[in-house]
Amino acid sequence: MSDHEYTPKSKFGKWFNDRLPLLTLASHLTDYPTPKNLNYWWTFGGILTFCLLTQIITGLVLAMHYIAHADMAFDSVEHIMRDVNYGWLIRYIHANGASMFFLAVYIHIFRSLFYGSYKSPREVIWIIGIIIYLLMMAAAFLGYVLPWGQMSFWGATVITNLFSAIPLVGEGIVTWLWGGYSVDNPTLTRFFTLHYLIPFLILGLVVLHIWALHVPGNNNPVGIDIQKPSKDTVPFHPYIVIKDGFALLMFMIVFAFFVFYTPNILGHADNYIEANPLVTPAHIVPEWYLLPFYAILRSVPDKLLGVIAMLSAILILAALPWLDTSKIRSAVFRPLYRQFYWILVADVLILGYVGAMPAEGLYLLIARVATAYYFIHFLVILPILGFKEKTLPVPLSITEPVLGGSPNLAGARIKNKKNL
Amino acid sequence: MKNFFKIIILSLIIMCGYKSAYSAEKVEYLKTHWSFKGLFGKFDRASLQRGYQVYTEVCSSCHSMKYLSYRNLAEDGGPEFSIDQAKAIAASFEVKDGPNSDGDMFTRPGKLSDKFVMPYDNVKAAQAANGGAYPPDMSVLVKARGGGVDYIYSLLQGYEEPPAGMKLDDGVYYNKYMYGNKIKMSNQLSDGLVEYGDGTTATVEQMSKDVTTFLMWAAEPHLESRHRMGFKAIIYLIILTVLVYFSMKKIWSGIETKI
Ligand code: HEM
């Protein structure tokens, strides 16, 4: 951290700060030099923090009224919806908040992919991010089980059963996870405990994520290292605070629209039917944000290999800083990478779509091609691209593209103004 | 900024696109005007009261509504019967209570705080009386079906002669809108089946609409306050966003970057 020394003005402040430098921390956070050319893709970090806190606060209130018991969970959620004051509001914020959280995290991740934010010296930020993302998926899956509807029950059955693919010990692990011979009350109570715990683990990791960020500082759309503080940076407060606040408010308008006007559109109708081990729903589908991985899982004919493929699809991201061999960070100056980037985006969207469809016929074929391409992108295209690609000239400072001083930038600027 | 809007709009389209991919089989449902849809949607009070009548006189002999209490009938945003009417409705049901000080169960007239009386003691009894099919609880039925109100409205009017060659077992009926077209509930509605107190003609269409409206309220009793609060919240957010936008412009005015 490249901060200047900070001394509190008041005597008490100084006394306290010498013993616990909270004021130094606050001063670091407000003065934190931020590249002034950050675009709105960069506002999603703040939005994600808001989402996490929203989930924690609404979750705490829900937990006061929710009963984690197989015979009472569904009833208690209906009790929250009907009789708890503003219970419907709290629950709809929590349920839709999970979707908004994932929407934001996907934008945040694809931002990093576009601008090369995962590259040196930001690998640790990136890897912590991947762990957060994994924990988010776990939290959301566990939370979805709690209302104990048909999709809760059958989703839990399908996902926990994946562990049975592990050779020799698989069946034993599944029984251990369930706390019995099927998804039942013991499963529900432990899922509730873990669902309660994981968001606080995420909170801790978010602190580390931001700490790790404040060591090298933010990446930026040009993707070059900058002097801090300098004419290329602005202090976090008030410049970035107000900009993040503005973006957050727009995000909240969308969020509010879902909560107040279409609160159930992102959920599955079957989850309003109480769990029934004797009746299997026609289609068992996970929440929309897990669909791409579900598609990868189902596209492999062998169960164990399917599970491995699904896990690798996420873990491969952790190796990305080393798979991408290009020295240039921002896709703005990488004409070929830019095209592969958008193909990858399309590929993931296609995977999500086929994940919602039955795994047969044409859908299965598409899922297989898209799965193969996903891995080819990371394992073949990215490593080779770094050596083969002819990148565009990169400016020396971010003031240059902003002020339009450098002639060798003209080409890149005209084509890609909108990404800067 | 434009970019930002594009991202948001694109993502929303994608999210909702995924959602519609779920509901694979698309059927054209019968259309009608629902007063509770839209930004300011509210229930049609008279329709809710008529719907309650259809429910108690017809459906409640098979379908329970276990999450509703008689007091709900008099609450804001619902059928809004007067307290006395709701008390009278509750009192017209026999409720099992107890044990009393002698250790015996007894029956007494219902009170506002009682839950709706169930037609059967348990699921098994309900199945036994309906040829093995369980008439689902109606408290959240509208939300438990992909098609929602349009589906239920259509289902009630969807009974037809089965197509030639289709064999139906005893107690199974052909319905155009039911999943797989086979339903174990016979056609429940016929013109003039109930006599509405307010003089509305009880056509099948009218009864279907009224009872479906009632089921929607049963599933979403706070729909009206949700819509009201939502409108206020969004207006508030929009005003705040505009104010913050201009503050941001002002704060950034000394920096030559576009925002
Ligand atoms: C990472 C943050 C979190 C995520 C992504 C998340 C996600 C979810 C999801 C998807 C559901 C199912 C919603 C539904 O369809 O009803 C749920 C339910 C629930 N969550 Fe969370 N949650 C988070 C944090 C928390 C926290 C911190 C608590 C408690 C302190 C909590 C308590 C509950 C309870 C009690 C339910 C069951 C009630 C219900 O289903 O509405 N959650 N959560």
A293 CB near ligand 1 (under 6 Å): no
Distance CA A277, CA A417 (A): 56
Please give the single-letter amino acid code of residue B64.
S
Task: Indicate the average pLDDT of chain A.
Answer: 93
Distance CA A173, CA B228 (A): 49
Please name the residue that has the structure tokens 């996420």.
Answer: A314
- Is B239 buried (19+), middle (13-18) or exposed (0-12) by CB count in 10 A? exposed
Distance CA A5, CA A2 (A): 9
A59 CB near ligand 1 (under 6 Å): yes
In the reported structure, the alpha carbon of residue A144 is separated from the centroid of ligand 1 by a whole-number distance in angstroms of 7
| pLDDT single digits (tens) A20-31 | 999 999 999 999
Cβ atoms A234, A245 nearer than 8 A: no
Tokens of B243: 């104010």
Instruction: Say whether pLDDT at A342 is over 90.
Output: yes
**Which ligand 1 atom sits closest to the C-alpha of A68?**
35
Cβ atoms A47, A104 nearer than 8 A: yes
What pLDDT score was predicted for residue A60?
A: 98
Question: Percent of chain A at pLDDT above 90?
Answer: 89
Contact list, B145 vs chain A (CB under 8 Å) = 269
In the reported structure, the alpha carbon of residue A370 is separated from the centroid of ligand 1 by a whole-number distance in angstroms of 32
Please name the residue that has the structure tokens 């408010």.
Answer: A249
Atom 37 in ligand 1: residue holding the nearest Cα: A146
Interface test with A, best of B8, B118, B257 (most A CBs within 10 A): B257
Q: Determine which of A32-46, A224-238, A362-376, B190-204 has the lowest per-residue pLDDT on average.
A: A224-238
3-class state of residue B104 by DSSP: coil
Distance from CA of A248 to the nearest CA of B (A): 9
Q: What are phi and psi of B111, to 5 degrees?
A: -120, 165
Tokens of A367: 């899922």
Beta strands in A128-282 (DSSP E): 233-235
Instruction: Say whether pLDDT at A415 is over 50.
Output: no
Contact list, A252 vs chain B (CB under 8 Å) = 237
Nearest residue to B218 via CA among B45, B73, B34: B73
What pLDDT score was predicted for residue B18?
A: 63
Mention every residue, 6+ apart, whose C-beta is less than 8 A from residue A267: A95, A287
Q: Between chains, do A357 and B24 touch, taking CB under 8 Å as contact? A: yes
Side-chain-facing half-sphere of A365: CA atoms under 13 Å: 2
What pLDDT score was predicted for residue B257?
A: 73
**Residue among A82, A263, A356 whose CB faces B221 most closely:** A82
What pLDDT score was predicted for residue A255?
A: 98
Contact list, B231 vs chain A (CB under 8 Å) = 260
Q: Compute the CA torsion angle B60, A277, A282, A354 (nearest 10 deg).
A: 130
Instruction: Say whether pLDDT at A244 is over 80.
Output: yes
For the segment A114-119, the average pLDDT, to the nearest whole number, is 97
Contact list, B14 vs chain A (CB under 8 Å) = 349, 352
Distance CA A103, CA B8 (A): 9
Confidence of residue A408 (pLDDT cuts 50, 70, 90): very low
- For Cα atoms B162, B167, B173, give the angle at the middle one, nearest 5 degrees: 50
Cα distances (Å, whole numbers) of residue A50 to A100, A257, A383: 11, 17, 36
What pLDDT score was predicted for residue B211?
A: 98
Tokens of A295: 């598609």
Q: What is the pTM of this model?
A: 0.93
**Which ligand 1 atom sits closest to the C-alpha of A141?**
10
Confidence of residue A399 (pLDDT cuts 50, 70, 90): confident
Distance CA A117, CA A104 (A): 16
Q: Which 8-state DSSP code applies to residue A116? A: T
Question: Percent of chain A at pLDDT above 70?
Answer: 94
Give the residue from chain A lying closest to B252, CA to CA: A239
Number of Cβ atoms within 10 Å of the Cβ of B83:
11
Per-residue confidence of chain B (259 residues) as pLDDT tens digits?
Answer: 666 667 667 777 776 666 665 554 567 899 999 999 999 999 999 999 999 999 999 999 999 999 999 999 999 999 999 999 999 999 999 999 999 999 999 999 999 999 999 999 999 999 999 989 999 999 999 999 999 999 999 999 999 999 998 888 889 999 999 988 999 999 999 999 999 999 999 999 999 999 999 999 999 999 999 999 999 999 999 999 999 999 999 999 988 777 6
Side-chain-facing half-sphere of B202: CA atoms under 13 Å: 18
Helix A185-214 to helix A44-65 angle (10° resolution) is 150
Nearest residue to A234 via CA among A40, A399, A34: A34
Beta strands in chain B (DSSP E): 94-97, 106-109, 173-174, 182-183
Cβ atoms B110, B95 nearer than 8 A: yes
Mention every residue, 6+ apart, whose C-beta is less than 8 A from residue B83: B74, B112
What pLDDT score was predicted for residue B10?
A: 75
Q: Between chains, do A261 and B245 touch, taking CB under 8 Å as contact? A: no
Nearest residue to A320 via CA among A53, A133, A77: A133
Cβ atoms B240, B79 nearer than 8 A: no
Write out the DSSP string of A41-92.
Answer: GGGHHHHHHHHHHHHHHHHHHHHHH---STTTHHHHHHHHHHTSTTHHHHHH
Strand B106-109 to strand B173-174: parallel, antiparallel, or no bridges (unpaired)?
unpaired
